[in-house]
Amino acid sequence: MKEFDLALVMPVYNEKDCIAGVVQSWDEVLTSLNIRYQILVYNDGSKDNTLQVLQGFNNSLTIKVIDKPNAGHGPTILLGYKQAVPLAAWVFQCDSDGEMMPGSFPALWAKRDEYDALFGYRENRVQSQSRAFISAASRFAVKTFFGAGIRDVNTPYRLIRAAILADMVETIPSNTFAPNVLISGELCRRKCRIFNAPVPHLQRRTGQSSVVGWKLWKAVIKSFFQTIRYTLERRGR
């Protein structure tokens, strides 16, 4: 039997103003479920005081802070998955910006036995035209290359069986910009049992996205070609 029922993976970059409250809120909700869990918080080379704030959790029995050099959001998520799957029966990933809060998690957790992966899609999300286009393109790519079944293929609110996730993350290159898109694709390709539920999406109240403008479009192009390469490699096996 694994040490935990659930391992939560949370990448963090420059979120000093909100990170303490976000981590604490998740800790409180998970405690209320009366399960064995660990929150893995990855400080991805933040340039502000995020690490100093996170050090306030150093004595926690349920929160583990991992400080690492900056590698980007996607590679940090992938590292978190690889370290989480040996620890727990289920792995959950969420972001640290407080845009999707833990209040919707208990409902997902309650339905886990019926599914292999449970996704919270971003309800009432307000985004720019460019980000809306990118979201639509990601859905189209997953549906075209892998199959349908997931409403929000890059949502940062996903609960997946560790036994299924474990071998997936080993096939994804460590520098992948959007590993969650590839994982969504693999879940569809394998025809896993998937559940989609709306989760309120709040406007960011602190900080700002680190990937904007031309940097965003460069990342999208990179992600597109990584998806094609991954798909061709999987088909060749």
CATH, residue 124: 3.90.550.10
- Looking at the structure of the chain, the number of domains it has is 1
Instruction: Print burial letters for 137-156: b (CB count within 10 Å at least 16), e (below 16).
Output: ebbebbeebbeebbbbbbbb
pLDDT for residue 207 is more than 60: no
- What is this structure's pTM? 0.89
**191 — alpha (psi -120 to 50), left (phi > 0) or beta?**
left
Express as a percent the part of the chain with pLDDT over 70.
83
Residue 204 pLDDT class (50, 70, 90 cuts): low
- Mean of per-residue pLDDT scores for the chain: 89
Provide mean pLDDT across the span 167-176: 92
| Separation of alpha carbons 59 and 84, rounded Å | 20
Question: Over the stretch 68-96, which tens digit does the pLDDT of each residue have?
Answer: 999 999 999 999 999 999 999 999 999 99
